[in-house]
Amino acid sequence: MRIGIDVGGTNTDAVLMDGTTVVSSTKTPTTANVSEGIAKALKVVIEDSDIDVSKIDGVMIGTTHFTNAVVERKHLTPTACIRLGLPATVSLPPMVDWPDDLRDIMGKNYYLAHGGHEFDGREISPFDPDEIKGIVEKIKDAGITAIAISSVFSPVNQKFEEDAAAIVREIIPDANITLSSEIGRIGLLERENAAIMNSCLRELAVRTVEGFKAALNELEIDAPFYISQNDGTLMNADFAKEYPVLTFASGPTNSMRGAAFLSGLKDAIVVDIGGTTTDVGVLQHGFPRVAALAVDIGGVRTNFRMPDTYSIGLGGGSIIEKDPLKVGPQSVGYELIEKGLVFGGDILTTTDITVASGAEDIGDKGAVADLDGDFVASVQAHIMEMITVAVDRMKTSATAVPVIVVGGGSILVTGEIEGASEILKPENFSVANAIGAAIAQVGGECDKIFSLAELSREEALEQAKQEASDRAVNAGASADSIEIVDVEEVPLAYLPGNATRIMVKAVGDLVEAK
């Protein structure tokens, strides 16, 4: 049996699953101390099902903890960046496009050194060990142990990053090092940004993972636990300590995977409505469509794998203003059960409107009985227009497609969504995010540029598939269950040497689940 948990900004959802059957589920308010909320949710599903905890063979957790840390500028560790690429890249130094306040938190500790490669693996300039030693001594004197290392085209050849890391470890044995080639894709600035962000979150990741472990130990759950990744797959807890940025979009991703599982659809649009926001994403082959462009996280452009989602400020706790009519983006969030009219509060929310329309029976209906019917109808029409526009933005053609509606706030969907061939609200829709975490597999990805002048297309594809498979195994997948689920080739006509970018995604079952 597996337990899936999704920690959101408003609620912490948990489900206990026996194979493909949902045995028990719960939604509890997220607490300031994330591990306390997790422990509370775990207790509920365990007590409701009366299960022997020794029969639990895995706990899967999705969390927005690290995303929130960046957005709120909290719990971030000052980080130094070493970039290998001189004499190139001087005009655009590390963190050049970061918000001033976030750059100040990092400490503006960046250094340029010789090295780097061209797209085909040729050196831009020789690696200079003495130069790196001098830089690392400065970093050590500054008392910094979080270090990001980036090199031009390191996804093609990461040797210089590895050589620099070896020197860092000699001088600063307890250094927390992130290599950009292990995090991001081809683009230098975005990949470097992702590496810096990963390093500044590592200390928080260790504390968070240990907090999760403490919550499990409190309930005497001895099963291994995993953290959800951005692409709808899992990584083991130790891997999550090393790569916290790979969890940034795990919330909406879990919801999409859960929606695919609950509906049986592999290709559809998913509308996930929570307490504060609505996230719209696209399912392709049962997994979230990956964003093709750089993704902004807390004002910083990054290019590690992220789902292509569109978010709007609409949720079950969204505050409604009457004149002029406005729905959200402000929300009472997890305080809905205290501040909403139907729960005895004094703030008009979207949930109150839904109850007033008769579409849902929650709380005290008498508290909203005096709301004008025309006003209620106009708010509902506005809500449906917001959802329709969001869905339309995510479509790539005018063809009608299925729309799966999930999340606790999906009670707001009371009408038709233009452009939808059908609207599905499957059973257990309110905890689709936790279900998505519970049923997830383990994944790995490769994104590299190959020169087909030096090797055949088949050899390049095989190399990419092997690297993606190896990364999946390292993240906790069973080697004999690995399956290649996505292969994309992009010929780069503007580069010499018959260059081609190859992106491969591999997934496999958990080792413990065999």
Mind listing the pLDDT tens digit for each residue in 189-247? 999 999 999 999 999 999 888 888 888 888 888 888 888 888 778 888 888 889 898 88
Residues paired with residue 500 on neighbouring β-strands, in sequence order: 450, 491
Q: What is the pLDDT of residues 143-162, one digit of tens each?
A: 999 999 999 999 878 899 99
505, 485 Cβ separation under 8 angstroms: yes
Percent of the chain's residues with pLDDT above 70: 97
Q: Which helix (H) or strand (E) holds 212?
A: helix 188-218
User: Is pLDDT above 80 for 140?
Assistant: yes
Q: Which two tokens stand for residue 436?
A: 């998505």
Q: What is the rounded average pLDDT for all residues in the chain?
A: 88
Instruction: Please give the Cα distance from 227 to 440 (Å, whole number).
Output: 10
pLDDT at residue 475 above 80?
no
Quick one: angle between helices 129-141 and 159-171, nearest 10? 50
Any idea which fold 265-429 has?
Nucleotidyltransferase; domain 5 (3.30.420)
By residue count, the chain amounts to 514
Is residue 494 predicted with pLDDT exceeding 70? no
- Confidence category of residue 9, pLDDT binned at 50, 70, 90: low
pLDDT number for residue 513:
43
Which has the higher per-residue pLDDT, 48 or 165?
A: 165
The DSSP code sequence of 101-153 is HHHHHHTSEEEEEE--B-TTS-BSS---HHHHHHHHHHHHHTT--EEEEEETT
The position carrying tokens 């809905």 is 336
Please tell me the predicted confidence (pLDDT) of residue 195. Answer: 94
Nearest Cα residue to 25 out of 336, 343, 437, 352: 437
Nearest to 106 by CA among 134, 137, 147: 147
CA nearest to 501, candidates 486, 488, 482? 488
Q: Beta partners for 225?
A: 59
Q: CB–CB of 133/105 below 8 Å? A: no
Answer yes or no: are the C-beta atoms of 43 and 12 closer than 8 Å.
no
274 in Cβ contact with 331 (< 8 Å): no
Residue type, 339: K
Higher-pLDDT residue of 84 and 225 is 84
Closest CA to 38 of 224, 270, 283, 216: 216
Which pLDDT score is estimated for 288?
85
Torsion angle, alpha carbons of 60, 301, 75, 6, to 10: -20
* Percentage, residues of the chain above pLDDT 90: 43
Q: How confident is the model at residue 401 (pLDDT cuts 50, 70, 90)?
A: very high
Q: What is the residue extent of each domain of the chain?
A: 76-201, 265-429, 441-513
Cα 177 to chain center, whole Å? 21
pLDDT the model gives residue 485: 82
Nearest CA to 510 out of 294, 258, 236, 280 is that of 236
Question: For 496, phi and psi rounded to 5 degrees?
Answer: -75, 170
pLDDT per position as a tens digit, 102-126: 999 998 899 999 999 987 778 999 9
Instruction: Quote the pLDDT of residue 36.
Output: 79
Q: Amino acid letter at 343?
A: F
| Sign of the four-CA dihedral 462, 463, 468, 469 | positive
Residue 431 and residue 410 in contact, taking contact as beta carbons nearer than 8 Å: no
Which of 467, 476, 110, 429 lies closest to 261 in space, CA to CA?
A: 429
Does domain 76-201 fall under CATH 3.40.50? My reply is yes
Q: Answer whether 76-201 and 265-429 agree in fold.
A: no
3-state secondary structure of 315: coil
Torsion from C-alpha of 348, 388, 64, 165, nearest 10 degrees? -150
For the record, the structure tokens of 373 come out as 């019917």
pLDDT given at position 310? 85
Q: HSE-up of 365 (CA within 13 Å, CB side)?
A: 9
Q: Is the pLDDT of residue 514 over 70?
A: no
pTM of the model: 0.77
State whether the Cα torsion 342-343-344-349 is positive or negative. Answer: negative
96 band by pLDDT with thresholds 50, 70 and 90: very high
Give the CB-side neighbour count of residue 78, counting CA atoms within 13 A: 12
C-alpha pair distances (Å), 268 with each of 17, 280, 307, 394: 24, 11, 14, 11
CA atoms within 13 A on the CB side of 447: 17
Is residue 292 a contact partner of residue 268, using CB atoms and an 8 Å limit? no
